[in-house]
Chains A and B, each alone.
Chain A
Amino acid sequence: MSNRKKMYLWAYAFISAPILGFLLFAFIPICFSVYVSFTKYSGYQAPEMTGADNYVRLLAEDPLFWKTLRNTVYSALAIPFGMALSLAIAVSLNQKIKAIRFFRTAFFLPTISSVVAMTLLWKWIFNAEYGLLNNFLGWFGIVGPAWLSSEDWAMPAMIIQGVWGGLGFSMVMYLAALQGVPRSLYEAAEIDGANLWQRFLRITIPSISPTTLYLLITSIIGVMQDFPRFQIMTEGGPNYSTTTIVYYLFQNAFRYMEMGYASAMAWMLGLLLMVITLINFRLSRRWVHYE
């Protein structure tokens, strides 16, 4: 065997584990999932072909699916709030601040913390009578709502927790982006008489736009698949007001054993995510500036 051929063999041996993992735990399951989505399948008996029934049921016969879709979009309100706040934090941290490590740690801590622990904590904070939040609101004479048992307030509670828990990650990304903006740009703008706000709008925002796009895309993908928080905090309730697509999908798959229907739902969600991501990339040409 020639030396070059030998090297090829080494290389293929080296990459074999991740490639095999991809085939076994991603590619083959995905193909199987397409098939299952066209069947009635409980996970116990063999799948039974039902054509496009699952998709028809999903789109035309299941009002709950549309409600969960609306809930999912509602929950995504956390994204603009979270991004704006984390940008504000990053800009503040970028002012040659003292104790930057302390502040960075404070905002980053929830990111590394267990979602289960954080959600249990917030469940206690949202407690209507004895929770921290309503206690705090009480100082201002506000009688806080019964957050998690109210149809109107359960989703806002989820959004508040989501923003709080997600700040650290976007902040670190934004801070890195801000540190990469050349000083000379600001100095030139200053000589031209641009004020602080104009410099922020004309220099900072465009310079960090690739990071904004990245955060937008990953946050949408993350938020639309967020499950554990909902499972622990609200279990989709009250009255389905916090049942997101993923939560509903999970219920169908593992509670009602409707694997076929749940797979169809997973594909609708997957397609939706792909379409949103593509649109984001398309639109980004207008507002993202690469150096």
Chain B
Amino acid sequence: MSGAAVGVRHTRKQASERIMKTVAYLFLISGSLVMAVPFLWMLSTSLKEEGVIFEMPPKWIPEPIEWSNYAFVLGEANLLHGFMNTLIIVIPTTIIGLFSSALAAYAFARINFPARNALFVMLLATMMIPGVVTMIPTFILYKSIGWIDSWLPLMVPGMFGAAAAVFFIRQFFMTIPSELEDAAIMDGLNPLQIFIRIMLPLSKPALVAQGIFGFLGGYNDFLGPLIYINSPEKFTLQLVLASFQGMYNAQWTYIMAGSVLALIPTVLLFFFAQRYFVEGVTLTGMKG
């Protein structure tokens, strides 16, 4: 191949790469607009005065800016109350569930015991059971023990740990070298002490990632509270928000203000822990 031919091929390659990149940028910019504009519309509506939202064509910058929608939604419309309920339900459930999952993950990763693989596979199989199939019988179960219209169905099952979390944390434990544990065993520590003093501190990233997923799952859950909770004072944030539809029919300013508020905690969480999200999602293939 002559030098000139290589040169031509090189510039052609550069040109095609430049075109590719331009196309990619155009596509990504228009795509992210499609993603972002609904959020901006939500924000814009939430700051409008009732009635202004029906002006045509719609104004993007509200005039006047109506902050009172937020005050109303938080206070009178009980969103803050729902938020507190959600936190009371989700935080202990997530923490205890995480501990249960991590403890089991440790046994599966490090201790050789009879039927270990069979039990592990059985646990993983639960991830494949469609939720629809268990929804009705678990409802009947909770009804028969008087748990309906209480937070227990939203808390207790989660505290036993989740198969996906066990799997994820186990994978992480497998990557930790066992020298430290060997030394600890020599020192006479029992497995629980080893788990708490050595394994837990070493696996913070995995635990944080799973904790975030657990929290998000509980925070955004709608189906569970919808099925189990009837009394408005026990409503979670998502239920309060969904109930706006019936209560403030077509008052989109309130509905959108509530939606914006409901997003704030998760968006903050996402920005502070983006690394964990992306790694966690790709490692486990699990949605938040």
Chain A interface (Cβ < 8 Å from any Cβ of B): 7-8, 10-12, 14-15, 17-22, 24-26, 28-30, 32-33, 36, 43, 85, 88-89, 91-93, 95-97, 101-118, 120-125, 127, 129-130, 132, 135, 164, 167, 169, 172-173, 176, 190, 196, 214, 218, 221, 225, 227-228, 231-232, 246, 249, 253-254, 259, 262-263, 266-267, 269-270, 273
Contacts and interface: CB of A to CB of B under 8 A. Distances in A.
Contacts of B56: 130, 135
A95 B64 CA distance: 43
Contact of B281 (A173, A231, A266): A173
Contact of B219 (A36, A114, A231): A114
Given A36-B136, A266-B136, A112 B267 contact: yes
Interface in B62-103: 100-101, 103
Nearest to B163: A18
Nearest to A211: B285
Contacts of A32: 137, 140-141
A16 to B, nearest CB: 8
A218 B57 CA distance: 41
B281 A232 contact: no
A157 B258 CA distance: 23
Contact of B222 (A106, A121, A228): A228
A269 B107 contact: no
Nearest to A249: B132
B285 to A, nearest CB: 6
A123 B192 CA distance: 51
Contacts, number: 267
B220 interface: yes
Nearest to B241: A116
Contacts of A29: 134, 137-138, 140-141
Contact of B242 (A18, A135, A232): A232
Interface string B158-183: 01111100100000000000000000
A173 B133 contact: no
B186 interface: no
- Interface SS majority for chain A: helix
Residue among B28, B58, B108, B259 having the largest count of chain A Cβ atoms under 10 Å: B28
Nearest to B16: A196
Contact of B104 (A14, A127, A135): A14
Interface in B273-288: 274, 277-278, 281-282, 285, 287-288
Given A30-B137, A132-B41, A270 B192 contact: no
A162 B103 CA distance: 37
B108 A92 contact: no
Contacts of B111: 7-8, 10-11, 14
Interface in B226-255: 226-227, 237-238, 241-242, 244-245, 252, 255
Interface in B100-141: 100-101, 103-104, 106-108, 111-114, 116, 119, 122-123, 126, 129-141
A118 B260 CA distance: 10
Nearest to A260: B136
Contacts of B192: 10
A259 B140 contact: yes
Contact of B238 (A88, A95, A114, A190): A114
Contact of B138 (A25, A109, A114): A25
- Interface SS majority for chain B: helix
Contacts of B42: 121, 124
Given A7-B113, A15-B104, A130-B56, A36 B137 contact: yes
Contact of B38 (A36, A103, A104, A125): A125
Contacts of A17: 100, 103-104, 159-161
A33 B101 contact: no
Given A15-B119, A114-B220, A169 B287 contact: yes
Given A7-B191, A30-B133, A18 B281 contact: no
Contacts of A109: 35, 39, 267, 270
B241 A114 contact: yes
A18 to B, nearest CB: 4
B61 interface: no
B104 A18 contact: yes
A272 to B, nearest CB: 9
Given A18-B163, A110-B35, A172-B281, 12 more contacts: A7-B191, A11-B191, A14-B191, A18-B104, A18-B160, A22-B160, A28-B137, A88-B27, A106-B31, A112-B277, A117-B241, A270-B133
